[in-house]
Amino acid sequence: MKRDFTKLLDITMDECLSLMERAKELKKMRKEGIEYQPLKGMYLAMIFEKASTRTRISFEVGMRDLGGHAVLLNRGDTQIGRGEPIEDTARVLSRYVDAIMVRTYGQEIVDDLAKWASVPVINGLTDLYHPCQILSDLFTIWEIKGDVKNHKISYIGDGNNIANSWIEAYLLLGFNFSIATPKGYEPLPYLLDLAKKNSNFKLFNDPFEAVKDADVINTDVWVSMGQEKEQDERRKAFTSYRIDEKLLKEAREDVIVLHCLPAHRGEEISGDVFERFQDVIFTQAENRLHVQKALLEWLILNR
């Protein structure tokens, strides 16, 4: 049966750990220039209804690395933009390609594609989730710090797609996890209810409390794609949720800071902190490639 990756909880803890192991091998092979092309003659359709740099390039390069091809569909260039039903698009694409990656607004679009497509569907970001990003973030922590379960992770800022997928990662793997968001900007209530059942999950309003003794601090933009009209009120609401040197003093001395990018220096992260952790942050971006190759290989070849 085909598998999809519409959200992080579509996979099990064991599958997540296998993907980490495989990403490590694929990363090593690429660095050593070893050619590995199990997806020769196979195709990935990439549907983009929102902008992207990393997701677009990492999926396209990843597919080529594995011997396959990626076909780009921008909303405006397709019949999707003119209202062709998702169930028809899904069935048509399934006749041409071996997997579909989609970046869009509503999670229901990804879920409908997954329901109607006979090939695997991958969520490349929706308003609710960004599972490929958090899978790569977990890999980055695993590479730098070792087993994520032995560490305290903190997320500061908007309870958005990144925060929701981090809670799913917590529910999957069970590390020590704290979040701080302003009132009214919390992650999805049903995820919070699930997470709050465990004592190693905490939700705060105060970012200083959330980062106490953290090994890893994450953040994301205050204004996500599609929220541009709210930018003035959001900038006000999030002013005290910036990752800066003062906040980092509460964390462990060997803390690392992650940012999924694009970053807004002076908003969610100070320029100093960004530059101090730039190597980690760009490794995190690079790892999208290795982790998604592991995901593509698994989803396409195992169906």
Catalytic residues: 103, 130, 133, 220, 260, 288
Task: Decide if 151 contacts 144 (C-beta within 8 A).
Answer: no
CB 80 within 8 A of CB 109: no
Asked if 54 is part of the footprint of ligand CP (rule: CB under 6 A), the reply reads: yes
Name which of ligand CP, ligand NVA, none residue 162 binds, using a CB cut-off of 5 to 8 Å depending on partner kind. ligand NVA
With residue 142 as reference, give the H or E element that holds it. Answer: helix 131-145
Tell me the CA end-to-end span of the chain in Å, nearest whole number: 6
Pair 197, 223: CB distance under 8 Å: no
Q: Work out whether 224 is an interface residue with ligand NVA (CB under 6 A).
A: yes
Please, which of residues 76-135 interact with ligand NVA by CB under 6 A? Answer: 125
Token output for 111 = 């879920």
Our finding on whether 211 is near ligand NVA (CB under 6 A) is no
> What single-letter DSSP state applies at residue 240?
G
Pick from ligand CP, ligand NVA, none: which does 181 bind, CB < 5 to 8 A by kind?
none
Residue 53, contacted partner among ligand NVA, ligand CP, none, CB below 5-8 A by kind? ligand CP
Instruction: Candidates 66, 113, 169, 221: give the one binding ligand NVA (CB under 6 A).
Output: 221
Residue type, position 236, single letter: K
Which residue's CB is nearer to ligand NVA, number 94 or number 104?
Answer: 104
Contact call for residue 140 and ligand NVA (CB under 6 A): no
Q: Is 74 among the residues that bind ligand CP (CB under 6 A)?
A: no
Nearer to ligand NVA by Cβ, of 161 and 292: the residue is 161
Dump strand ranges (E) for 157-270. 176-180, 201-204, 216-219, 256-259
Compute the Cα dihedral for 215, 136, 277, 141 and give only its sign.
positive
**Shortest distance, position 100 Cβ to ligand NVA, whole Å:** 19
Please answer whether residues 102 and 113 qualify as being in contact, where contact means their C-beta atoms are separated by less than 8 angstroms: yes
Distances in Å between the Cα of 298 and the Cα atoms of 86, 207, 250, 303 are 25, 38, 40, 8
What's the min distance (Å) between Cβ of 40 and ligand CP? Answer: 26
Asked whether 99 and 74 are in contact (CB, 8 A), the reply is no
Q: Quote the least distance from Cβ 122 to ligand CP, whole Å.
A: 13
**Which residues of the shown chain bind ligand CP in the complex (CB under 6 A)?**
52-55, 125, 133, 260-261
**Which residues of the shown chain bind ligand NVA in the complex (CB under 6 A)?**
125, 160-162, 220-221, 224-225, 260
